[in-house]
């Protein structure tokens, strides 16, 4: 019974780690600009497709990851430059404060169609990252783990730690917080606001890139796989409260584990319960796990 | 003054538009003569890998049958109009409407997803245009219409009930505990209901019933339940055939898996791997040890090379094509009603699959009979008959 419990826990944690990485991108963009990319899941999809193509072409994993990071970084830059920044210039003529929802979701639709053109409409399988078969299992105390899952867990822990350090210890992190607090004041103190915002979107998009490379071999890859990841990442980020990197980590892992256990207890509605849980949670704590109920959560 | 001018020009424009539409209408209504018969083919050619595999293989069979028809001096000039329904029911319905209204086809063939066929079959029955369905397998596709004399709905494919019956007969005899894993789609729920009823009719019960949404990525929790229920046989009726296999090595569970004939696809072998798929059982309707089937298999390999992946589905597509083209030939016109009558009466088919020489009658619109379906099993990377 204990091993069953641990086994479900572990497979839930692995999926939860993916949600965490994706949600991290939403969190960082929201923190700095109060905006986020409604196509975060579709960025992940593009990353999964690029990494699948490169792996199938025989490129080593490290090189694949690098190429994906560069490509997604560029995509993040383009998103900020063409879908978000022009709205600021337009101001009220740009349709008000929430136009970015439409432009980022629109960018997501474009990406889906581009993916259909390049890779076709069919679902495909990405080769495993480190082995020839799909059955490379490591047993730890009676619990079977795929090598890919261990990698997902380790990497997401590393990325979360790195982000924690970047945000709270580095100069860039302080710039992000300064811009988040008040862009004009930050500019007066010598912070390059534009550059900080661009970097935030590049980083967010790279996080989707890492998730895409990792999740590719675990699921079927197809042009419309992104939406469900966007939804789950939004749910996770809102448990985390959108303002605390640790909250996002805990929210992501909780969501993954809740999903795995709800599949164990009632598989017919496995996807339903975690989302219901979040709905109920947000009724009780609208500002999330670590969010502070303030007028402006920045 | 100005306003009146404007109104006048609007009226003129309307008249012109009306005339153009009328002209277009007459043009469209002009049926091609008997020399030129259009057959619409709707297949799932993109979407989930298993669907694509079914759709492409069936279409390969139809195309080869048309080639043979022409080579053997067929009288009618038959043209295939092929559309991809992407396994999407709405799209399938609008494609069939397009085939009926714009392309003015005399008959239709297709498609993979049973739900799609169930969605457009009533349209064809109402329009009195014959359909040879395939490779869809839901039991009620032909039986729902057979009482409407005459029924325009035929099928050349596996029938779900036949393969489930065979599987349960074998399952209850060889295993103490049987578990079921199905998807939460229309197809999965329908199969689950049929299996539960089938088990009851055999005086048994399923040890565990697990479900999963179509897009899930991990079935570990469900497989743990099946393992803990002690199921030695897992009936796999999830569209992502490969998913249950993934979880097995990590939880040390090695049941026998049996399921939909989709499990015999080359694609499943490629994804799951030769060792993991070994011993998996599925419904089948083509025995490659039969010399005719082997000859067909060899020919398909020559014509389509590595694109040819699935003997049984291609064979049924080939036989469906043979029946359709022979019937059109005998009807001697592009009249859908005449073609329907000819399909029902067609005789002397030299089928590759187990389809008899005279497949249909007014009370039977299925190519295959219950006895033609048998169980196949993966052995050393090949599907052979289970004994």
Q: Is residue B6 part of a domain?
A: no
Of B46, B240, B271, the CB nearest to A121: B46
* Mutation choice for A interface testing from B221, B253, B274 by most A CBs within 10 A: B221
Q: Compute the distance between CA of residue A209 and CA of residue A214 in angstroms, rounded to an integer.
A: 9
Write the pLDDT tens digit of every residue in B267-302. 788 888 888 899 999 999 888 888 888 999 999 999
Of B46, B216, B220, the CB nearest to A7: B220
Contacts of B189 in chain A (CB under 8 A): none
Distance between B197 CA and the closest CA of chain A, angstroms = 19
Q: Is residue A172 part of a domain?
A: yes
More confident residue, A244 or B4: A244
Q: Give the domain-ending residue among B251, B284, B317.
A: B284
Residue A295 confidence (pLDDT) above 60: no
Tell me how many degrees the CA angle B155-B157-B161 measures, rounded to the nearest 5. Answer: 95
Residues A228-239 have a mean pLDDT of 89
Q: Are B246 and A120 inside 8 Å of each other by CB?
A: no
- Residue B160: closest CA among B181, B140, B134: B140
Q: How far is residue B336 from each of residues B27, B324, B347, measured CA to CA in Å? A: 19, 12, 19
Q: Is residue B29 part of a domain?
A: no
- Residue B328 touches partner A, C-beta closer than 8 Å: no
Q: Are B212 and A225 inside 8 Å of each other by CB?
A: no
**pLDDT value at residue B21:** 52
What residues are paired with A144 via a beta bridge? A139
Four-point Cα dihedral A58, A61, A65, A68, nearest 10: 20
H or E stretch covering B36: strand B36-43
Do residues B149 and B176 share a domain?
no
Q: Compute the distance between CA of residue A147 and CA of residue B344 in angstroms, rounded to an integer.
A: 57
Q: What is the domain extent for residue B48?
A: 36-158+290-371
Q: Which residue of B has its CA nearest to A263?
A: B221
- Residue B251 touches partner A, C-beta closer than 8 Å: yes
Q: Compute the distance between CA of residue A118 and CA of residue A45 in angstroms, rounded to an integer.
A: 13
More confident residue, A93 or B24: A93
Conformational region of residue B86, where left means phi above 0, alpha means psi within -120 to 50, and beta covers everything else: left
Mean pLDDT is lowest, of A105-109, A164-168, A205-209, B133-137, for: A164-168
Q: Which residue of B has its CA nearest to A134?
A: B246
- Residue B48 touches partner A, C-beta closer than 8 Å: yes
Contacts of B208 in chain A (CB under 8 A): none
Q: Is residue A295 part of a domain?
A: no
Contacts of A4 in chain B (CB under 8 A): 224, 228
Phi, psi values for residue B96, rounded to 5°: -65, -40
**pLDDT value at residue B152:** 97
**pLDDT value at residue B32:** 42
Do residues B44 and B58 share a domain?
yes
- Residue A260: closest CA among B239, B314, B251: B251
**How many beta-carbon pairs under 8 angstroms link A with B?**
87
Q: Which of the residue ranges A171-175, A196-200, B125-129, B269-273 has the most confident prediction, judged by mean pLDDT?
A: B125-129
More confident residue, B258 or A28: B258
CA atoms within 13 A on the CB side of B287: 12
Q: Compute the distance between CA of residue A64 and CA of residue A53 in angstroms, rounded to an integer.
A: 9
Q: What is the domain extent for residue A184?
A: 17-223
Q: Are B91 and B73 in contact (CB under 8 A)?
A: no
Tokens representing B353? 């699959």
Contacts of B251 in chain A (CB under 8 A): 7, 144
DSSP state of A141: T
Q: How many domains does chain A have?
A: 1
Do residues B254 and B207 share a domain?
yes
Instruction: Let me know how many helices (H) and strands (E) chain A has, helices first.
Output: 12, 4
Q: Are B253 and B277 in contact (CB under 8 A)?
A: no
Residue A182 DSSP SS3: coil
Sign of CA dihedral A162, A164, A167, A169: negative
Q: How many domains does chain B have?
A: 2
**pLDDT value at residue A257:** 92
**pLDDT value at residue B29:** 43
Q: Is residue A259 part of a domain?
A: no
Q: Are A218 and B217 inside 8 Å of each other by CB?
A: yes
Q: Are B48 and A122 inside 8 Å of each other by CB?
A: yes
pLDDT bin (cut points 50, 70, 90) of residue A173 is confident
What is chain B's length?
387
Residue at token pair 């299992």: A137
Contacts of A215 in chain B (CB under 8 A): 217
**DSSP class per residue in B187-244:** HHHHHHHHHHHHHHHTT---SEEEEE-TT-S--HHHHHHHHHTT-SEEEEE-SSTTHH
Q: Is residue B138 part of a domain?
A: yes
CA atoms within 13 A on the CB side of A267: 25
Residue at token pair 């379906």: B373
Tokens representing A49? 């497709």
How do B374-379 and B382-385 pair as beta strands?
antiparallel
Distance between A235 CA and the closest CA of chain B, angstroms = 18
**pLDDT value at residue B346:** 95
Q: Is residue B24 part of a domain?
A: no
What residues are paired with B84 via a beta bridge? B43
CB count within 10 Å of CB B372 equals: 18
Q: Is residue A110 part of a domain?
A: yes
Residue at token pair 């007459």: B26
Contacts of A134 in chain B (CB under 8 A): 246, 271-273, 276
Do residues B128 and B227 share a domain?
no
Write the pLDDT tens digit of every residue in A68-89. 999 999 999 999 988 888 887 7
Distance between B286 CA and the closest CA of chain A, angstroms = 27
Can you give the CATH number for the domain in which B77 is found?
3.40.50.2300
Residues A161-173 have a mean pLDDT of 84
Of A7, A120, A270, the CB nearest to B251: A7
What value does the mean pLDDT of chain A take?
85
Contacts of B228 in chain A (CB under 8 A): 4
Do residues B102 and B244 share a domain?
no
Do residues B150 and B167 share a domain?
no
Q: Are B336 and B106 in contact (CB under 8 A)?
A: yes
Of B213, B220, B252, the CB nearest to A271: B213
Of B47, B52, B212, the CB nearest to A270: B212
Contacts of A261 in chain B (CB under 8 A): 221
CA-based Rg of chain B, rounded to a whole angstrom? Answer: 24
Residue A130 confidence (pLDDT) above 90: no
Q: Are A11 and B213 inside 8 Å of each other by CB?
A: no
**pLDDT value at residue B31:** 42
- Low-confidence residues of chain B, pLDDT below 70? 1-35
Residue A1 confidence (pLDDT) above 80: no
CB count within 10 Å of CB A181 equals: 11
Contacts of A121 in chain B (CB under 8 A): 46-47, 86
- Residue B229 touches partner A, C-beta closer than 8 Å: no
Q: Is residue A98 part of a domain?
A: yes
Contacts of A218 in chain B (CB under 8 A): 217-218
ipTM of this complex > 0.85?
no
């Amino acid at each position: 019974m204990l091993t069953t419990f641990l086994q479900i826990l572990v497979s839930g944690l692995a999926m939860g780690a993916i949600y965490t990485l994706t949600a991290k991108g939403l969190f960082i963009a929201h923190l700095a600009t109060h905006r986020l990319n409604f196509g975060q899941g579709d960025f992940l999809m593009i990353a999964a497709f690029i990494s699948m193509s490169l792996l199938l072409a025989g490129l080593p994993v490290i090189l694949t990851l690098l190429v994906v990071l560069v490509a997604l970084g560029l995509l993040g830059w383009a998103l900020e430059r063409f879908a978000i920044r022009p709205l600021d210039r337009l101001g009220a003529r740009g349709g008000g404060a929430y136009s970015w929802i439409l432009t980022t979701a629109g960018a997501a639709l474009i990406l889906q169609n581009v993916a259909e053109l390049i890779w076709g409409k069919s679902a495909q399988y990405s080769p495993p990252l480190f082995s020839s078969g799909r059955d490379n299992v490591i047993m730890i105390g009676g619990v079977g783990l795929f090598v890919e899952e261990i990698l997902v867990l380790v990497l997401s822990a590393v990325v979360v730690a790195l982000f924690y350090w970047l945000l709270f210890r580095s100069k860039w992190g302080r710039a992000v917080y300064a811009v988040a607090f008040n862009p004009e004041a930050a500019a007066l103190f010598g912070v390059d606001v534009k550059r900080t915002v661009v970097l935030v979107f590049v980083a967010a998009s790279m996080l989707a890139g890492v998730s895409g490379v990792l999740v590719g071999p675990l699921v079927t890859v197809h042009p419309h796989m992104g939406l469900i990841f966007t939804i789950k990442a939004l749910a996770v980020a809102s448990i985390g409260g959108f303002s605390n990197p640790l909250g996002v980590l805990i929210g992501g892992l909780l969501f993954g584990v809740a999903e795995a256990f709800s599949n164990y207890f009632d598989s017919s509605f496995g996807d339903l319960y975690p989302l219901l849980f979040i709905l109920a949670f947000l009724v009780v704590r609208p500002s999330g796990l670590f969010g502070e109920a303030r007028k402006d959560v920045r | 003054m100005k306003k009146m001018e404007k109104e006048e020009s609007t009226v003129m424009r309307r008249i012109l538009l009306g005339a153009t539409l009328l002209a277009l209408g007459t043009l469209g209504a002009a049926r091609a003569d008997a020399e030129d018969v259009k057959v619409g083919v709707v297949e799932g050619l993109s979407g989930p890998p298993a669907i694509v595999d079914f759709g492409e293989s069936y279409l390969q069979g139809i195309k080869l049958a048309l080639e043979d028809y022409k080579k053997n001096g067929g009288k009618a000039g038959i043209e295939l109009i092929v559309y991809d329904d992407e396994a999407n029911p709405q799209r399938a319905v609008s494609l069939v409407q397009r085939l009926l209204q714009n392309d003015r086809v005399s008959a239709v063939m297709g498609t993979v997803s049973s739900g799609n066929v169930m969605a457009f079959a009533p349209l064809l029955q109402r329009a009195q245009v014959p359909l040879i369905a395939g490779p869809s397998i839901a039991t009620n596709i032909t039986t729902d219409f057979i009482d409407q004399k005459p029924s325009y709905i035929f099928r050349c494919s596996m029938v779900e009930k036949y393969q489930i019956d065979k599987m349960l007969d074998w399952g209850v005899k060889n295993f103490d505990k049987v578990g079921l894993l199905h998807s939460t789609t229309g197809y999965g729920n329908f199969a689950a209901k049929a299996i539960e009823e089938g088990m009851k009719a055999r005086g048994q019960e399923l040890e565990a019933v697990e479900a999963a949404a179509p897009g899930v990525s991990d079935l570990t929790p469900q497989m743990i339940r099946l393992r803990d229920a002690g199921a030695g046989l897992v009936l796999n009726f999830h569209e992502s055939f490969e998913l249950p296999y993934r979880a097995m090595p990590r939880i040390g569970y090695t049941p026998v898996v049996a399921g939909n004939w989709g499990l015999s696809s080359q694609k499943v072998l490629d994804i799951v791997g030769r060792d993991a798929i070994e011993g998996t059982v599925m419904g089948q309707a083509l025995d490659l040890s039969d010399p005719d089937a082997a000859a067909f298999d060899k020919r398909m390999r020559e014509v389509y090379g590595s694109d040819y992946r699935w003997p049984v589905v291609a064979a049924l597509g080939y036989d469906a094509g043979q029946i359709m083209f022979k019937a059109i030939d005998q009807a001697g016109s592009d009249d859908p009603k005449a073609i329907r009558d000819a399909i029902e009466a067609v005789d002397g088919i030299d089928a590759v699959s187990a389809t008899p020489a005279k497949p249909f009658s007014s009370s039977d619109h299925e190519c295959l009979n219950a006895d033609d379906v048998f169980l196949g099993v993966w052995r050393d990377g090949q599907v052979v008959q289970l004994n």
